[in-house]
Structure 1
Amino acid sequence: MAEKKKARRNGKIELYRFIFSMYVLFFHIGKYLLPPQKFTGGLDVGFFRHGAMGVEFFFLVSGWLMAASVSKKLAAKAEGEKAFVPKEGLDFLKRKYLSLMPQHLPAFAIAFAVYTYTRELRPIATVKAFADSIPNLFLIQMSGANFTNPNHLEWYISAMLIAMAILYPILTKYYDAFAKYIAPLAALLICGYLIYTDKKLTGVTTWTGICFKAVLRAVAEVALGFTSFELSAYMKKKQFTTAQKVLLTLTEFGCLAGVSLYVISLLPTKYELYCLVLLFIMVTLAFSGVTCGTKALSNGFFCFLGKLSLPIYLSQIAAIDLTAARYSYKSSEDRIITALIFTAVFTAITFAAGEAWNAWKRHNANKQAQTA
């Protein structure tokens, strides 16, 4: 039986995944291991003070990929079959959920081990901590069942899954109206609400009256990813001159530069909204394939960097907690280096575990195919 040809990854997006995962890592190192940095309102440079904006990039990309998946399914259906089928939504969420488990579970185990070690928990307290960590283990903590979170950065995955569960049936049933009209309007209104009430987009467990802020943040930005997909699909169909492609490339990298400068600045958090707009433009252009460098970057090296982004994200809080608990006496520079070393070690373990699991699954699938 002939094997299915895998879709080629967009190397530019994979590189951006790695860059923004590092921004998030440095943000948390600065937040938990370094002296507090105040917003000056000027162009002063800080230590990745706005690095949390990396999560906005991942929400946008998740929305883009979800829209690509739904669009492909709808295109394969007859006109009368395009109503939402609950099983399709459940299958989509199941695939997404199970794809995270090979790296989530080892990262959670490391984080829980560090959590109990740094707090010197006795056996009974350890059992209680594990019981309280069950929502984190099953990635449902952003539902409101937010007790103990050894790997509390996984709020992002929990919020993303909830947002996808909410948006999938709407996108499937009303694809054109939602992706092209309702999604950008809803994103604007939700983001405007978050900026008005909390003076920033970022934030996780602020209670909005109906859900955690993280869930609203995820819904708005995943939905905005749908619109990004539609715009990039439109651009793929257009013919651009060389000069236009160069201009679009400069725009894309200008957006990356603008976001990066904001990440290391001490400007107020209200400008996170502008940063989200730059990310939206950058993601749309990068996925469109019309800007320069896409083919050159779509190789094994940059795809490997992209694959490291999730293990880096999942592994960093255990590394930072361990550094804070056992190496607080060291200088700021030494604490940064120590946290990076621990992150690299935990990332390697998490990545290797995920790769081993996926290799085992491929082996079993090949055996079944050969015996079929």
Structure 2
Amino acid sequence: MKRNGKIDLLRFVFAIVIMLHHLGMRTDLFDAFGLHFQVVSQRGGGFAVVFFFLVSGALLAKSTDKIVDSADIPKVTTQYLWKKYKYFMTWYIPAFILNFVWDCMRESISGGIKHSLYNISGFFMMQYIGLNGGELYPNGFYVPASWYLSALMICSLVLFPLILWKREIFIRIIAPLTSIASLYVLLNYKNRFRIASGLWYPLAVMCAGCIAYELAKNIKNTEEIYRHGITLRIAEAAIYLLTIVYISSDLQIEFEYPMFMLLTIAVAISFSGGTDDSLLSHKIFSFLGRASFPLYLFHEAISLIYIELLNKHGINHGYLSHIILYILCIVIAFLAQYVYDTIKKNKTQIKKVDA
């Protein structure tokens, strides 16, 4: 599957935003229009995850395009989920080990072993429906980012066979109704767009991602794309910039719904190809996009170990220490992705030789 350089770059940008949000980058910027702006606000930083759910939904819909014969839906779905699960495990296992190391430093080796055994259920990616092991560290899960992986796996299990079964009905009826109805319920009964429990939020956003991809596919290579190319570029850039501004502001939680709608439009434009730039086809952007995944999974575990070491040596975790931590997280993610790519390339070469 050909990678989208723009989406890859945006993945890396939003992964950085999430890292800064989780690791406490709250540097004040300025006040304007009655709002206070920070590098990443406490309230708005988590909104960056919406982008990843949207893209995941779009890529899920895209992955079904190549499936001509969908007669054996259970088999095709199982193959798709198994491939996704193996990739998740590639990064989940080292993230689990990093948290185990921190747990041993914080408690003891026996304590770390006990807590890790309690959380073996995390390997099944079912935490989002309550399949937890008991004592969870930290932030509710032994590997904090695993809630995201769990939500992706469960939503993919629901959506993938639906798209294969009745694509037109799903795109035109099921997906729009799921997004509109579920988000309406979340806003009116939970008084917020994103909630920490339940599958309605990720399911609704991934459905919107499926719609965004279908929209992008329908307008791709049409005359309107080239006629309105400049307008699309401006709209796309403006929405992504507005998203970053929103993430940095202290706007009320109710603004997340219209921001989600705008971000869905921007993702559709990005997948349409009408605003592509040849510069973004360079392999460095593909690497950044792939490295965003280990960065997302590793940064909190790295932070826990880093701060634990500082505390043990009586070093203050100040502004400079924060900067060092951010750089460290990015460097480790890059190294991890480079090692993964190298191993994968070597395996491919061995297979070709054997063939």
TM-score (norm 1): 0.84
Q: Give the equivalent residue in structure 1 for 2:231.
A: 247
State the 1:35 CA deviation. Answer: 9.7
> Which segment is superposed worse, 309-318 or 101-110?
101-110
> Which segment is superposed worse, 51-60 or 144-153?
144-153
State the 1:364 CA deviation. Answer: 4.0
State the 1:345 CA deviation. Answer: 4.5
Encode CA deviations 1:110-146: one digit per residue, 9 max, x unaligned: 22212321x2x23332221111121223432223122
> Which segment is superposed worse, 177-186 or 248-257?
177-186
| Cα distance in 1, alignment partners of residues 225 and 346 from structure 2 | 47
SS of the counterpart of 2:249? Answer: coil
8 Å CA contact 1:41–1:268 kept in 2: the answer is no
Query: Are 1:322 and 2:305 counterparts?
Result: yes
8 Å CA contact 2:103–2:111 kept in 1: the answer is no
Encode CA deviations 1:22-59: one digit per residue, 9 max, x unaligned: 111111122xx7699xxx99421023121212211111
Encode CA deviations 1:272-305: one digit per residue, 9 max, x unaligned: 11221121011100010012x4333111121111
Query: Are 1:358 and 2:341 counterparts?
Result: no
Aligned partner of 2:85 among 91, 97, 101: 97
Change (3 A) 1:24 1:242: same
8 Å CA contact 2:104–2:110 kept in 1: the answer is no
Counterpart of 1:188, as a letter, is I
Query: Are 1:178 and 2:162 counterparts?
Result: no
Aligned partner of 1:262 among 246, 253, 257: 246
> Root-mean-square deviation (CA), in Å?
2.6
SS of the counterpart of 2:35? Answer: coil
Change (3 A) 1:164 1:8: closer
| Cα distance in 2, alignment partners of residues 341 and 257 from structure 1 | 23
Counterpart of 2:40, as a letter, is F
Q: Give the equivalent residue in structure 2 for 1:296.
A: 279
Aligned partner of 1:338 among 324, 334, 342: 324
Q: How many residues align?
A: 343
Q: Give the equivalent residue in structure 2 for 1:150.
A: 142
Change (3 A) 1:106 1:246: same
TM superposition outliers: structure 1 runs of 4+ over 6 Å:
none
Question: Among the aligned pairs, what percent are the same residue?
Answer: 27
SS of the counterpart of 1:57? Answer: helix
Aligned partner of 1:59 among 53, 56, 75: 53
Query: Are 1:112 and 2:96 counterparts?
Result: no
> Which segment is superposed worse, 246-255 or 50-59?
50-59
| Cα distance in 1, alignment partners of residues 292 and 88 from structure 2 | 13
| Cα distance in 2, alignment partners of residues 41 and 168 from structure 1 | 44
Aligned partner of 2:289 among 301, 306, 314: 306
| Cα distance in 2, alignment partners of residues 302 and 165 from structure 1 | 29
Counterpart of 2:129, as a letter, is S
Change (3 A) 1:41 1:165: farther
SS of the counterpart of 2:112? Answer: helix
Change (3 A) 1:311 1:123: closer
8 Å CA contact 1:10–1:298 kept in 2: the answer is yes
8 Å CA contact 2:19–2:296 kept in 1: the answer is yes
TM-score (norm 2): 0.88
Q: Give the equivalent residue in structure 1 for 2:15.
A: 21
Query: Are 1:71 and 2:57 counterparts?
Result: no
State the 1:244 CA deviation. Answer: 1.0
Change (3 A) 1:260 1:230: same
8 Å CA contact 2:98–2:302 kept in 1: the answer is no
Gaps spanning 5+ residues in structure 1: where?
1-6, 205-211
| Cα distance in 1, alignment partners of residues 288 and 47 from structure 2 | 19
8 Å CA contact 2:40–2:247 kept in 1: the answer is yes
Change (3 A) 1:91 1:167: same
> Which segment is superposed worse, 327-336 or 96-105?
327-336
Change (3 A) 1:151 1:236: same
8 Å CA contact 2:7–2:270 kept in 1: the answer is yes
State the 1:353 CA deviation. Answer: 4.3
Query: Are 1:124 and 2:110 counterparts?
Result: yes
Counterpart of 1:101, as a letter, is M
SS of the counterpart of 1:45? Answer: strand
Aligned partner of 2:201 among 185, 197, 217: 217
Counterpart of 1:86, as a letter, is P
Encode CA deviations 1:57-99: one digit per residue, 9 max, x unaligned: 11111111111111321xx23xxxx446211111110011112
8 Å CA contact 1:108–1:150 kept in 2: the answer is yes
8 Å CA contact 2:89–2:123 kept in 1: the answer is no
| Cα distance in 2, alignment partners of residues 357 and 237 from structure 1 | 37
Query: Are 1:133 and 2:112 counterparts?
Result: no
